Amino acid sequence: GEEVKRVRDGNDLNAKAKGKTREGAEEQLTSGDLLSNRRMFYLLKSAFPAVQINSEEHVDTADQETVSWNRSIPEDIKQKIQPKEVPAESVTVWIDPLDATQEYTENLRQYVTTMVCVAVNGKPVIGVIHKPFSAYTAWAMVDGGSNIKARSSYNEKTPRIIVSRSHAGEVEQVARQTFGNKTVIIPAGGAGYKVLALLDVAEKNQEEADVYIHVTYIKKWDICAGNAVLRALGGHMTTLSGEEISYTGSDGNEGGLIASINMNHKALIEKLPDLEKTSRK
């Protein structure tokens, strides 16, 4: 997070196109992505050399950085977590060194996060979502504690639905047909930001929503940390057809997603047949 903030504050992004998304939008790559990725990857790799680490950005082996962790856990976290040992080969770590790169280049700082997720046998069990520009960090571990909780009030009849800025129009029509004309559509950047919108985050730059919907293909490093946090708090993140997302194998999730907490998730899925079809296009 410090790398992401330092590059943005210095306006030293060196932004360039790294390719196109399936929808034809240009994907940006900045110095913030690369420097954050280098530090996150090598810290984890040096601490847990036997664990598989999947990252959004390519790791240049000629550009290694020595980043060590003294293995001391802050007392406030140590008091909350319930440690468990699992075989190293069952663990997959997914890191997103800079979520919402497009918004980062536009200086829409509130949407930017860095994320780490630990999956065991494909199930997300630890999620960390950090907001570099406010130094806010949310973390949660399934059956092992958290520093965040769900919001207490939701409205299932007229939910506030948070969606990607690029897909807002696509989702709005179907969502209003499904939930009614009073449904509020909130366009936003970054999967990490959208998950935090479902939770109790005391920040002025964090919008609140009841449901997070994504209707197209999305990479697993974008969603694993949020999925783990929601699971730990009793929430749900599934494909639009209700399937659990496995964090092994390919790095992409084909079936779109819907995320909620303290709501009837199954009932939400049953309301969204048209969106499920949209995600398969």
One domain, residues 44 and 179: no
Residues 182 and 225 in one domain: yes
**Tokens coding 18:** 């790294």
Catalytic residues: 33, 101
AA letter at 143: D
Query: Does residue 116 lie within any of the structural domains?
Result: yes
Is residue 276 in a domain?
A: no
Residues 42 and 180 in one domain: no
Let me know: does 33 contact 61? Beta carbons within 8 Å: no
Q: Are residue 122 and residue 163 in the same domain, yes or no?
A: no
277 lies in a domain? Answer: no
* Same-domain status, 111 and 167: no
281 in a structural domain: no
> Given 147, 181, 197, which residue is the final one in a domain?
147
- Both structure tokens of 182: 């009073």
Same domain? 57 vs 95: yes
Residue numbers in the known binding site are 56, 96, 98-99, 222
* CATH number of 31's domain: 3.30.540.10
Same domain, residue pair 13 and 99: yes
CB 103 within 8 A of CB 189: yes
Q: Measured on CA atoms in the order 120, 214, 222, 9, is the torsion positive or negative? A: negative
Q: Is residue 126 part of a domain?
A: yes
For 130-170, what is each residue's pLDDT tens digit? 999 999 999 999 999 999 999 877 776 778 999 999 888 87
**Structural domain of 171:** 150-271
Asked whether residue 279 is assigned to any structural domain, the reply reads no
The predicted pLDDT at position 280 comes to 47
Dist. CA 129–CA 6, nearest whole Å:
18
Count: domains in the chain = 2
54-57 long-range contacts (CB < 8 A, ≥24 apart) are 54/92, 54/93, 54/94, 54/95, 54/220, 54/221, 54/251, 55/94, 55/95, 55/96, 55/97, 55/221, 56/95, 56/96, 56/97, 56/98, 56/219, 56/221, 56/222, 57/29, 57/33, 57/97
The stretches in the chain having pLDDT less than 70 are 18-26, 61-64, 156, 273-281
> Which among 147, 177, 212 is the end of a domain?
147
136 and 249 inside one domain:
no
Binding site as annotated, residues for Mg(2+): 56, 96, 98-99, 222
Query: In terms of domains, do 28 and 122 share one?
Result: yes
179 assigned to some structural domain: yes
| Residues whose CB is less than 8 angstroms from the CB of residue 183 and which lie 6 or more positions away in sequence, other chains included | 158, 159, 160, 161, 175, 176
- Tell me the CATH number at 159: 3.40.190.80
Domain shared by 91 and 37, yes or no: yes
In a domain, 117, yes or no: yes
Give the number of other Cβ atoms within 10 Å of residue 19's Cβ: 8
Pair (16, 121) in one structural domain? yes
Of the residues 97, 118, 147, which one is the last residue of a structural domain? 147
pLDDT for 259 equals 96
Give the span between the Cα atoms of 26 and 223, in whole angstroms: 20
